[in-house]
Amino acid sequence: MGEKINYQADASEYIEQLPRGAFLTVKSGEQQNTMTIGWGTIGYMWQRPILIVAVRYSRFTYELIDKAAEFSVSAPVDNRYNKILGRVGTESGRDIDKFKEYNIPLQPGKTIDCPVISDCGITYECKIIYRQPMDPEALNPDIRDKFYSNQDYHVIYWGEITAVYKNNL
């Protein structure tokens, strides 16, 4: 598998990659899906290392993560997934099996019952400890107008990081 690392050790590399895309993977029952994320953060809360992700209500991933207890985030550290990140971010798991369609290799999580992308680079395994729908009234109007003109808001998921490692590339 990969080498275990401290969650802060590669946090800057993860944050640098995030605007270019990372895979958010979730499993609920026998269904699993991955989607591209470009927003999120990493930090420390409630005496735990935390990874925060946002998923819009309209996404198939929302249907799964809303019932799930865990998720994984795999951030590429090279360019091999650039095209796939673009496609995974625009196609729905309702219509295709993205893993098969794009030959995305999976492996079981080390600490969660959710797969991870096996050769992606930095991998975070997370247990959901808090979820919060966005409150449009509490959002800065400039951000609300720019990113939510269609009123498709996010639900914010706080994941306790249970494992973080670099997969061999």
What is the per-residue pLDDT across 5-32, written as a single tens digit (0 to 9) for each?
477 887 888 888 888 899 999 999 999 9
Which percentage of the chain shows pLDDT scores above 70? 96
- Map out the domains of the chain as residue ranges: 2-167
Does position 1 have pLDDT exceeding 50, yes or no?
no
Q: What is the pLDDT of residues 46-93, one digit of tens each?
A: 999 999 999 999 998 999 999 999 999 999 988 788 888 888 888 788
Q: Can you tell me the distance from the alpha carbon of 72 to that of 139, in angstroms, rounded to the nearest whole number?
A: 27
pLDDT band for 168, please (50, 70, 90 cuts). low
Does position 2 have pLDDT exceeding 50, yes or no?
no
Does position 3 have pLDDT exceeding 80, yes or no?
no
Q: Is the domain defined by 2-167 classed in CATH 2.30.110.10?
A: yes
Dump the DSSP string for 108-167.
E-SSSSSEEETTSEEEEEEEEEEEEE--GGGS-HHHHHHH-TT---EEEEEEEEEEEEEE
Would you state the pLDDT for residue 4? 47
Q: Which residue has the higher pLDDT, 33 or 12?
A: 33
Which of these ranges, 96-100, 131-135, 156-160, has the smallest mean pLDDT?
96-100
Mean residue pLDDT of the chain comes to 89
Q: Can you tell me the distance from the alpha carbon of 62 to that of 54, in angstroms, rounded to the nearest whole number?
A: 9
Would you state the pLDDT for residue 169? 53
Beta bridge partners of 23: 36, 74
Report strand pairing: 121-133 vs 41-45. Answer: unpaired
Q: What is the phi/psi pair of residue 36, to 5°?
A: -85, 135
Q: What is the mean pLDDT of residues 96-111?
A: 91
